[in-house]
Structure 1
Amino acid sequence: MTTPFPSTVVNVVLDDVAVLIPAYNGQQDVERTLASFVESAPVHVLIVDDGSTPPIVAPTLPNLAIEVLRMPVNGGIERALQAGIDALAERGYRYAARIDAGDLAAPGRLAKQRAYLEAHRQAAAVGMWTQVVTREGKPLFMLTPATEPRAIKRTRFFRAPFVHPAMMLRVDAVRAVGNYREKYRAAEDLDLFLRLMEHYDCANLPELGLYYELNEGGISATKRRRQVMSTLALQLRYFNPFNPFDWLGLAKNLLHFVTPYTLLQRIKRSLFAPRTA
């Protein structure tokens, strides 16, 4: 069991942390996302421009030092993230804080996650709970994955273990397990997390760290069949017949395969939408 983590972080240092944001077009979304970071120390950012036309331009924002790494052609998020991790390692950063264009960071997110990883050296990644919102910012439902490493590993296929854009990753650990890969397209995050959990602890902080914009044009919607097939391949690769949650997760994924995406979103909204008194 991990030790409780305080909400207040003092003596903040973020020089070894970089926000990693892959982007394909969407200049305004990139700017809105980066402007959401509120930290008590300067924030370093690496934008991986995945062949945008026109190219992404680094915005000028207070308290942020922003660099753009340009990919020669649009190669997909897997290649962009792999290149981003390698670039951060070359620049000497220890931690990569993921976020996607259009999502917003909760205040103090980076300091809290870095402090956790500094205090838990066996942990390779730490996420945070997430508020799913509409494009206009209306709350839809909360994503509250398990927090403890053992519970996360046991239920990893039945319940999404992490919210990818709410994660902070230890750069050397990501590279040690092979970095992001293209082998499981549209499920590159789950592929990475499963490999990390074979060698390290991975946890979630039980507090809000991200406002996730539900994007009907995102990977989960437009590449859903590929994502489900990649997830199925990963489930079979790591399947443990003695873990009932692996069986439940397999059934759940097969259900996703035959259920329309819009219906799944309606079910989530009805189950996890905020309740009024």
Structure 2
Amino acid sequence: MTNSSGAAQISLDDVAVLMPAYNGQSDVDLTLASFSESAPVHVLIVDDGSTPPIVAPALANLRIDVLRMPQNGGIERALQAGIEALAQRGFRYAARIDAGDRSVPQRLAKQRAFMETHPRVAGLGMWTQVVTRAGEPLFTLTPPAEPDAIRRLRFFRSCLAHPSMMLRIDAVRAVGNYRAAYRSAEDLDLFVRLMERYDCANLPELGLYYELNEGGISATKRRRQVSSTLRLQLRYFNAANPYDWLGLVKNLLHLVTPYRALQRVKRALLAPRASH
């Protein structure tokens, strides 16, 4: 699949950035300030019971609403509520990002242009550069672009960077929205269900700077995340796909390998790509 040209001039009236947030006002401000588009950007912050409550920053070209959850219920329920709220407001696309991450200029326009011309694609990611909290590059994730390759590798490697995704809201709701059934792996759960009925793809260019946060879900809830991923693998296991077998072995190793050791291996393997 190829990228559409001239995407920067496209309207974004039917696109909304969907960002769950729990505390971390400064991270929210940093992330939203990173958006640079030729058209006004709509944003929905789902405040998952923050204390004090998240406040929408005043930023030029951004129209920001805050949906406040009655109490902290986890990212799965926050995203589910966010999708429903955007559907009720008439948006067609939800562009995910997490507080602390940064968007590459014109990301939204490029993704929307692609999805408009590829109606079977329900979820579209982009390449992601992983950075420290200080913004220093660590490595770049360059997963495959084509839906067939992503479907084949879905349990062997992380092909879709959740904070880089643009999602077709009607498709997300058609497969049951985000769920809390697989805690800390709500993104993979959604992508697997989407790929049963639609396609997921990537634009093969940088779209997101992903902050490696040692206090994030991948670090603090890692055992739960790996356990949920293993349950998903078993639920959707395809014995004819060798990558499903390899993915099973890989995640069993993740279950017994310390998180910091895994990060050291990943940096060693991918660091040469940081200059992309």
**TM-score, normalized by length of structure 2?**
0.98
Q: CA separation in 2, counterparts of 1:6 and 1:91?
A: 27
CA distance in 2 between partners of 1:36 and 1:276 (Å): 20
The CA deviation string for residues 85-106 of structure 1, in whole angstroms up to 9 with x for no partner, is 0000000000000000000000
Aligned residue number for residue 171 of structure 1: 169
Matched, 1:144 2:142: yes
Alignment pair present for 1:191 and 2:169 = no
> Which of these residues, 205, 212, 215, is aligned with residue 214 of structure 1?
212
1:29–1:101 contact (8 Å) kept in structure 2:
yes
Change in Cα spacing, 1:50 to 1:39, as seen in structure 2 (3 Å) is same
Once residues 138 and 164 of structure 1 are traced to their aligned partners in structure 2, the CA distance between those partners, rounded to angstroms, is 21
- Give the gaps of 5 or more residues in structure 2: none
Cα distance change on mapping 1:69 and 1:275 into 2, 3 Å: closer
SS of match in other structure, 2:139: strand
Q: Residue 156 of structure 2 aligns with which residue?
A: 158
Aligned CA distance change for structure 1 residues 275 and 211 (closer, same or farther; 3 Å): closer
1:240 aligned counterpart, secondary structure: coil
Distance 1:247 1:25, change over 3 A: same
Amino acid at match of 2:161: V
* Pair 1:102 & 2:87 matched: no
Aligned equivalents of 1:191, 1:7: Cα separation in 2: 32
For residues 123-157 of structure 1, give each alpha carbon's deviation from its aligned partner in whole angstroms, at most 9, with x where no partner exists.
10100000000011110001111110000000111
Asked whether the equivalents of residues 4 and 114 of structure 2 are also in contact (C-alpha less than 8 Å), the reply is: no
Give the aligned length: 275
Is the alpha carbon distance of 1:165 and 1:10 closer, same or farther for their aligned partners in structure 2, counting shifts above 3 Å?
closer
**Aligned residue for 1:116?**
114
The letter for the 1-side match of 2:263 is Q
Q: Contact 1:140–1:274 (CA<8 Å) still a contact in 2?
A: no
Query: In 1, Cα distance between the equivalents of 2:127 and 2:68?
Result: 31
Amino acid in structure 1 at the alignment position of 2:141: L
Deviations 1:193-242 (A, max 9, x none): 00000000110000000000000000000000000000000000010111
1:33 maps to 2:31: yes
Equivalences for residues 187-266 of structure 1 within 5 A: 187-266=185-264
User: Which residue is equivalent to 1:20?
Assistant: 18
Name 1:11's counterpart in structure 2. Answer: 9
Aligned to 1:90: 88
Rate the CA distance shift 1:191–1:153 in 2: closer, same or farther, 3 A.
Answer: same
SS at match of 1:235: helix
Tell me which amino acid in the other structure corresponds to 1:5.
N
Q: 1:215 aligns to what SS in structure 2?
A: coil
Which of 45, 50, 53 lines up with 1:52 in the alignment? 50
Q: Quick one: distance in 2 between partners of 1:276 and 1:259?
A: 25
- 1:275, CA displacement in angstroms? 6.4
Contact preservation (8 Å) 1:94, 1:170: yes
> Residues 42-93 of structure 1, C-alpha deviation per residue, up to 9 Å, x if partnerless?
0000000000000000000000000000000000000000000000000000
- Indicate the residue corresponding to 2:77 in structure 1: 79
- Cα RMSD (Å): 1.2
- The whole-number CA distance in structure 2 between the counterparts of 1:70 and 1:168 is 22
Pair 10,270 (structure 1): closer, same or farther in 2 beyond 3 Å: closer
Question: 1:181 and 1:237 mapped to 2: Cα distance?
Answer: 15
Which residue of 1 is the match for residue 59 of structure 2? 61
Name the CA distance, whole Å, in 2 between partners of 1:18 and 1:276.
29
Question: Any stretches of 5+ residues in structure 1 without a counterpart?
Answer: none
